[in-house]
Amino acid sequence: MDTPITTSPAATTSAGTASAGTSRAERRSFLARTLADPRRMGAVTPTGRAAAARMAAVVPDRGRPAVLELGAGTGVLSRAILARMPDGGRLVAVESDPALVEYLHRTSPQLEVAAADAAELERVLDEAGIDRADAVVCSLPLTVMTAVERRRVLSAAARRLTPAGAFVAITYRPAWAARGLRADMADVFGRVERTPTIWANVPPARLLLGRGPRPC
């Protein structure tokens, strides 16, 4: 039997409502979860302000976009997305770590949080009443997942994006180590681009952007 996906109430969004900065308490909470399960977390600090802003840039800034975030962590990227999103947009933030889900409920009660695994993203969208997402923003450590796990997430994301939708993922690995991820993205997206290194992030990061979801 499927495990029920628990979701906190949605909130109305308005542009410019939040900062993408991180507090000391936020960094401590993130580091504690990394030490408990480093493979799941994939980083020792939350996404930095510069990288969060670059990732959030794929979110449409007009209309009523539906956005799915995979790996919400402590909510740093969630806040950057909400700050860009126009009134009437909707963000569903997916997080599988129970401690981080509780942290998000406590510190970001306005955020719609789905306590689920990223591989369940289609069920998350179904239960949220969303047919297609305009953007999927992913902070998960896709490069350290097994190829089967990674392809499952990427294929599900491509299936549920609008034709003009975008998928963006962050990686802290050098380009040669992320070749498997880029190849898997090329299987499900018509165009895949890699950004230059974002040196302001700790650790330095690159983004991979997929557009033109293929039928799969």
Question: What does the pLDDT look like over 137-188, one tens digit per residue?
Answer: 999 999 989 999 999 999 999 999 999 999 999 998 888 889 999 999 999 9
Q: Count the residues in the chain.
A: 216
Of 26, 13, 140, the C-alpha closest to 81 is: 13
Bridge-partner residues for 161, per DSSP? 133
List pLDDT tens digits, range 23-61. Answer: 666 656 555 555 455 555 445 456 788 999 999 999 999
Report CA-CA distances (Å) from 152 to 22, 41, 119: 31, 18, 6
Residue 177 is predicted with a pLDDT of 85
Looking at domain 39-213, what is its CATH homologous superfamily? Answer: Vaccinia Virus protein VP39 (3.40.50.150)
List pLDDT tens digits, range 107-147. Answer: 899 999 999 999 999 999 999 999 999 999 999 999 989 99
Domain boundaries, the chain: 39-213
User: Tokens for 79?
Assistant: 């806040």
DSSP string computed for 100-119: HHHHHHHH-TTSEEEES-GG
